[in-house]
Amino acid sequence: MSLVLTGAEVMEVLDMDLALNAVREGFRAYGEGRANMPPKAYLTLAHGDFRAMYGEIFLPEGHVCGLKWVNVHPGNPARGLPTVMAKIVLNDPDTGLEWTDMDGTHITNYRTGAAGGVAAEVLARPDAARLGVIGAGAQARTQIAAVMRVRRIQKIIICDCARARAQALCDEMAARYPVPVRLAPDPQETTLAADILVTATPSTTPLVRLDWVRPGTHINAIGADAAGKQELDPEILKTARVVVDDWAQASHSGEINVPLSRGDFTPDMVYGSLGEVVAGKKPGRQNPEEITVFDSTGLIIQDLALGFAVYSRAKERGLGEVKEFLKISGGS
């Protein structure tokens, strides 16, 4: 029997606090070796791609394995569709029985935002008060929501190449949070104003230069999630303490992938993984002046941890529809 959860039902139980707690535990499990996570597989298409992400994780709440099938189609907004949509299936690792078949679109957005929040929690200065965001798409919202929960942000600065979209996000954030929110004309002004900088664009050309980044800045590099994408000047990576979510994924599809392929960055320049920092195996920020970078590619452990938390909460509240996809009559 499988619990089927629609996107609307997922959103009845999903919030950023749940996401932060689940994703933090997911990274801790990864850092402590309690996860089995093969590299994601890509299906490249003419107008986008699909990614198959699967793995296993041992959480305090239970042992779970599962699969996420997720697309990225950059032209979808012009069609009135989300750029990213996903489906998540969770299974009992001991028997293979399916526990839930759920919409994963909102979970993907929230878990990515929560990863940025966890990174800011351990890498940003404790007194970081100004949040800069480059890119005003869907991911900007959850990045802002997560960072607002881990730092006392007093000002938000937003820019996007589509000025109207950036202004709309500014208006939305100003209505949601009791802090000043302003529109910046370009990445330079946004970066110069930020203690914590989020880059969440599909760019394949660096948008942020080293000489714009002030000492003590933390950067969540979110946009690079496929080969050829990059948002940061490689000189930033050479100067900063670089933390990845996973070396294998980051090396072929994260912010470091292009500099690595060109010889502008070497593997030994990576400080470690976010899981190692969360698990206490490596310290986070070392001093108030250093620049830190979190290279986020998105891991199945985040989806499994948050998906299991959503499934558990939905089951407690009687949400969803139980389906018997496979009639089991007994025997082997």
From the list 40, 68, 282, 315, the catalytic residue is 68
- Residue 68 is a catalytic residue: yes
Instruction: Give the integer Cα–Cα distance in Å for 288 and 123.
Output: 10
- Residues annotated catalytic, as ranges: 68
